[in-house]
Amino acid sequence: MDMTGRARKAWLIAGGVVLTLAVVAAVVVFVFRDRATPADREEVAATLVTGGGQPGDYGLYEYATTGYETTDALGGSRHDYPGRTYLTIQPGGCGILVRWEALQQRWDEWDYCPDGSLAGRRNYHEWFTIGNLEVWACAPPIPGSGDPGDAWEGACTRAQGANVEAGADNTAYEVIGYETLTVGEENVETLHLRTTAAGVGGSESTDTTDTWVLPGTRLIVRQVATGSSVSQSRIGPVRYHEEYEINLVSLYPSG
């Protein structure tokens, strides 16, 4: 084989390698592309149990929303939350399930007993088409309310799952006091609660959440939250950060 033939063969091999790498890269980008899909209101409301239509009853509630979440995994990504998100109050679990959907890829669900105590929660995060569902159990259930000035602590444990390690968190609760907020054109008295959580086992996390609820119900009128975590994985530590604010648009549910 002459030099020209050898050079041609080398170029063909190099071109084949480049083409193969390009195809592999395209497949990886397509399969593992990240998504941030707003929750569809009609889909959320499709299977809801509705109540009497009063504030705090079963149904769907709409929130004006700002916020985002980020991760540094696989080069990093960010999910910006849409201007409208939805919360549902439904029968189930220990008594009442309250679920907030920021995105199809991001939601929280709290399980409350009839006395208002928190029996557990579920948190869902999806990055690069890989979903992580965290299931937490609080035993004994944690009191969900109190009088201004009250403070207490509670602990929950996280079950190990397909993409989630077992863990635990300790949360401090504080009742700040009663505050009046405006929802639509109505002034409403709310109870301001603050939670500060620290997680260990599988990941280290810190979270602070201020929540204003309609007294006597599990209806969130306003919530402001910020949290960060570092989780150990096969590719090393993965950092996560989230912050958001939601404000109730109407006291009355739809669904």
Helix (H, G, I), strand (E, B) or coil at 105: coil
At 178-203, the pLDDT tens digits run 999 999 999 999 999 999 998 766 66
Q: In the chain, which residue ranges form alpha helices assigned H by DSSP?
A: 3-31, 41-45
- Rounded Cα gap, residues 60 and 107, in angstroms: 15
Q: Is the CA virtual torsion 209, 214, 220, 223 positive or negative? A: negative
**Domain boundaries along the sequence of the chain:** 1-31, 36-248
Pairing verdict, β 236-248 and 186-200? unpaired
- Separation in Å, CA 106 to CA 85, 131, 149, 175, 186: 11, 9, 33, 27, 30
Read off the pLDDT band of 160 (50, 70, 90): confident
Question: What is the pLDDT at residue 23?
Answer: 37
Q: Identity (one letter) of the amino acid at 48? A: L
- Rounded Cα gap, residues 237 and 232, in angstroms: 5
pTM of the model: 0.84
| 26-40, 85-99, 236-250: the lowest-pLDDT one | 26-40
- Separation in Å, CA 82 to CA 123, 175, 193: 18, 30, 25
